[in-house]
Amino acid sequence: MDKFYVTTPIYYVNDVPHIGHAYTTVAADIIARYWTRKIGSENVFFLTGTDEHGVKVAQAAKDADKEPKEYADSIITRFQEAWKILNVNYNHFIRTTDPLHENVVKEILQNIYNKGYIYDGVYEGLYCEGCERFLTQEELVDEKCPLHPNKKPVYQKEKNYFFKLSNFKDQLIELFQNDTYQILPLSRKNEILGKLQSELQDVSISRAGVSWGIPVPWDTKQTTYVWVDALFNYYSATRFLENKEKFWPTDLHLIGKDILWFHTVIWIALLLAAELPLPKRVFAHGFFTINGQKMSKSLGNVISPQELVDKFGADAARYLLLSEFPFGEDGDFSFDKLKIRYNADLANGLGNLVARVAKLAEQSGLEFTDSEEKPSQEKYDTAIQQTNLHQALAVAIEQVRILNQFIDQKEPWNLLKEGKKEELKTVLEHLIKGIKTTSNLLYPYMPNISETIIEHFKGPIITASQPLFPRIA
């Protein structure tokens, strides 16, 4: 791998950041940090940002009595703050209201139009403003969108431009089947291939009744459909930012399973129409509930990144997000469960290991030479490279368990008491080496604490340490 380009979805600004957004963004940061260590920061590009056009955002701005752009400006700082407190080190924060992005979208759309893949027609049917997409009759549950049962789908009949999605059906099937564009996990690939078996209809890519968005270049009375505008962010950033061209195509699009159709069928067909090189892979993670319930404002169970960081600290918050259930599957969070895991894995596990070894090293009065410890575990590398973030973490945490067990077996405090310096030194050196290796493995997940640990065990003199993860009652 000579370069790595990873993206998150760009989040709608109709809402402030919550741990759903944090989940994907922290995961992308972990992957970006992993690759940065492997191939250098100049070869990694990590893009996140906000999706600021469309009906939903325009409505939220209206409710807040603001102009859409002014409203978006006030929300994006919330996202940027959230990523800062979570130690997310993105390279660029893209906004779809950036004129530089808008220009690229117009250019590509015009290009697709010139190639004959866009025609005008009339759209008649239902639109879910929550999803920002058209719904078919078959998708409705009790006449409502299953994902937004509180929002009545809006009937519309208007002139729209349509994209000839149906032209690409066979090509898409082939590209997905042979992993030219790899859809992970495998179950998601099968889900998309299954859906592609039924008839693939052309899609509307413009709106007549919506003004908040990018005007269609050849007919400015129409506004570009928000999803088309949004998807192209991944490409536009590599065009308008300096020295980023080399990063196209994307190596990994990280998304939640809710937006998989857009990131497979629609996205790849648009790129095929524009004759652009295709991204390599998309990974759709699962969705989580809070205490078994869907996270929602009306239920009052939305957890903000700030709350999580206040309770556990940034590094532990990142760890907890990824350790609770396998990345790719659905799961559940609750403060109670997070607290149990924090105390078990971090306070009693890693924290206790570091504290015990540092204290023994101090008491021993011995000196230790520093050695470079690079993560080399094959299992760990394969797991991260396959986006099995939960599994890679398990490899690291297993090391912690083994090292704690090693201390219990060797009972170095007895060696200290009995003055067996040589033996004690061998045991401590093994532990220090193990701690450093493990910290390196944990680095993408817990960058600050890992660096603190590595620095602490640098030697030659090692002193007792402050508790890294105070127990939470």
Between 15 and 381, whose beta carbon lies closer to ligand MSP?
15
What are the structure tokens assigned to 359, written together?
């204290």
What's the sign of the alpha-carbon dihedral 457, 458, 462, 468?
A: negative
- In three-state secondary structure terms, 22 is helix
Q: Has 53 been annotated as catalytic? A: no
Q: Has 128 been annotated as catalytic? A: yes
Between 121 and 146, whose beta carbon lies closer to ligand MSP?
146
Q: Which residue among 84, 157, 294, 417 is the active-site one?
A: 294
Burial (CB count within 10 angstroms: exposed 0-12, middle 13-18, buried 19+), residue 42: exposed
- Taking the CA of residue 196 as centre, how many other CA atoms within 13 Å lie in the half-sphere pointing to its CB? 26
Strands (E), 212-319: 215-216, 219-224, 252-256, 281-285, 288-290
Distances, alpha carbon 413 to alpha carbons 320, 362, 402, 462, in Å: 32, 12, 18, 16
DSSP state of 249: S
Total of residues contacting ligand MSP (CB under 6 A):
19
* φ, ψ dihedrals at 134, nearest 5°: -80, 145
Q: Which residue is nearest to ligand MSP (CB)?
A: 20
130 φψ region: left (φ > 0), alpha (ψ -120 to 50), beta (else)? alpha
CB 363 within 8 A of CB 416: yes
Is residue 160 a contact residue for ligand MSP (CB under 6 A)? no
Between 165 and 259, whose beta carbon lies closer to ligand MSP?
259
Taking the complex as a whole, the smallest distance from the CB of residue 258 to ligand MSP amounts, in Å, to 5
Q: Has 148 been annotated as catalytic? A: yes
N-to-C CA span, the chain:
45
Instruction: Lay out the site mask for ligand MSP across 4-33 (x = CB under 6 A, - = otherwise).
Output: -----xxxx-------xx-xx---------
Between 163 and 469, whose beta carbon lies closer to ligand MSP?
163
DSSP state of 418: T
Q: Has 430 been annotated as catalytic? A: no
Q: Rounded to whole angstroms, how far apart are CA atoms 337 and 237?
A: 39
Taking the complex as a whole, the smallest distance from the CB of residue 261 to ligand MSP amounts, in Å, to 11
Is residue 79 a contact residue for ligand MSP (CB under 6 A)? no
Between 389 and 416, whose beta carbon lies closer to ligand MSP?
389
Q: Which residue among 53, 145, 189, 285 is the active-site one?
A: 145
Tally of CB atoms within 10 A around 94 = 23
Q: Has 244 been annotated as catalytic? A: no
- Say which residue the tokens 């239902």 belong to: 126
Q: Which of 215, 211, 220 is nearest to 68 (CA)?
A: 211
Q: DSSP H helical segments within 258-329, as ranges?
A: 260-261, 267-274, 305-312, 314-323
Query: Which of positions 247-276 make contact with ligand MSP (CB under 6 A)?
Result: 255-256, 258-259
Taking the complex as a whole, the smallest distance from the CB of residue 270 to ligand MSP amounts, in Å, to 11
Q: Which residue among 53, 101, 106, 128 is the active-site one?
A: 128
Residues in the chain, total = 473
Q: Which residue among 53, 56, 131, 263 is the active-site one?
A: 131
Instruction: Output the CA angle 103-108-114, nearest 5 degrees.
Output: 125
Instruction: Lay out the site mask for ligand MSP across 206-245 (x = CB under 6 A, - = otherwise).
Output: ------------------------xx-x------------
Q: Has 436 been annotated as catalytic? A: no
Is residue 288 a contact residue for ligand MSP (CB under 6 A)? yes
Q: Which residue among 21, 53, 189, 263 is the active-site one?
A: 21
Is residue 51 a contact residue for ligand MSP (CB under 6 A)? yes
Q: Rounded to whole angstroms, how far apart are CA atoms 156 and 207?
A: 10
Q: Has 21 been annotated as catalytic? A: yes
Taking the complex as a whole, the smallest distance from the CB of residue 10 to ligand MSP amounts, in Å, to 5
Q: Has 337 been annotated as catalytic? A: no
Between 25 and 160, whose beta carbon lies closer to ligand MSP?
25
Between 12 and 35, whose beta carbon lies closer to ligand MSP?
12
Between 8 and 36, whose beta carbon lies closer to ligand MSP?
8
Q: Which residue among 297, 379, 417, 421 is the active-site one?
A: 297
Residues lying near ligand MSP in the complex (CB under 6 A) are found at 9-12, 20-21, 23-24, 51, 230-231, 233, 255-256, 258-259, 287-288, 295
Instruction: Supply the residues annotated as catalytic.
Output: 18, 21, 128, 131, 145, 148, 294, 297
